[in-house]
Amino acid sequence: MNTLFKGTMTMKRYAIVAALAMVGGACGSSSPSAPSAPPNTIVFTAALAFANEIPTLPTSNVDVNARGTATVTFNLTRDSAGTITAATVGFVYNVTGFPAGTILRGTHVHEGGPTVSGGVKIDSGLGAANPITLGDGTMNNITFASTTFPDGLGLINAIIANPNGYYFNVHSGVNPGGAIRGQLVKQ
């Protein structure tokens, strides 16, 4: 096959591909899509595990088999510019693998990456004065809500921007510094 013929065939192929691309592009809507409004509900999940605790707890610890899941939901109010003006945070979590009779003394969102232990940023309200006792070491649909954020709405924006920089932690009577934890993951 001569070089001129090969070049002509290649040019024809490019012309066909270009024509198909133009036809495909013309088949869409004639109006540009409007930018979508920012969401008013943002959901995060966390896979809770004993092994995620920082500092690492000894494997002889009674809570070593504990694990769970958490869903943290931000319900947001926004102004016309999309700026968050108010928020509530809902917690729903499930735990299993704790010894029967375990007392849960706290659940919170903390600031800190996967290898960092940080301070409480959003408290569920569960505490030593109102603990939960796990009769058989398991409980589902533990639910709390919070409207108090010590760092204000800037905290809500920070978590939305970098959920992996925050974790959900469950504190037990045996492990008051934390028994199981998991980093937040935006859904």
Provide the CATH number for the domain around residue 93: 2.60.40
Please check whether residue 119 lies inside any domain of the structure.
Answer: yes
User: Regarding predicted confidence, which is higher, 69 or 17?
Assistant: 69
Rounded Cα–Cα distance for residues 126 and 11 (Å): 71
Establish if 162 belongs to a structural domain. yes
Q: Residue 149: what pLDDT? A: 86
Angstrom distances, CA of residue 61 to CA of 144, 147, 173, 175, 181? 27, 34, 12, 9, 15
* Residue 173: CA count within 13 A, CB half-sphere: 14
pLDDT of residue 53: 96
Assess whether pLDDT exceeds 90 at residue 160: yes
Q: Whole-angstrom Cα distance, residue 18 to residue 142?
A: 58
CA atoms within 13 A on the CB side of 25: 6
Beta bridge mates, 140: none
In this structure, is the dihedral angle defined by the CA atoms of residues 176, 91, 151 and 163, taken in order, positive or negative?
positive
Report the distance separating Cα 145 and Cα 73, nearest Å: 9
- The answer to the question of residue 33 being in a domain is no
43-101, pLDDT tens digit by residue? 999 999 999 999 999 989 999 999 999 999 999 999 999 999 999 999 999 999 999 99
In a domain, 16, yes or no: no
Among 29-33, 35-39, 99-103, 142-146, the least confident range: 29-33
Residue 87's domain comprises 41-186
Give the number of domains in the chain. Answer: 1
| 153 within a domain of the structure (yes/no) | yes
Does residue 28 belong to any structural domain of this protein? no
Is residue 19 domain-resident? no
Give burial (CB, 10 Å; 0-12/13-18/19+) of 127. middle
pLDDT band at 175 (very low <50, low <70, confident <90, very high): very high
The closest of 179, 171, 166 to 46, measured between CA atoms, is 166
81/38 Cα distance (integer angstroms): 10
**For the ranges 16-20, 30-34, 120-124, the one whose mean pLDDT is highest:** 120-124
Average pLDDT over residues 151-165: 96
Q: What percent of the chain has pLDDT over 90?
A: 76
68, 85 contact by CB (below 8 A) = no
- The per-residue pLDDT of the chain, averaged, comes to 87
Entry pTM: 0.80
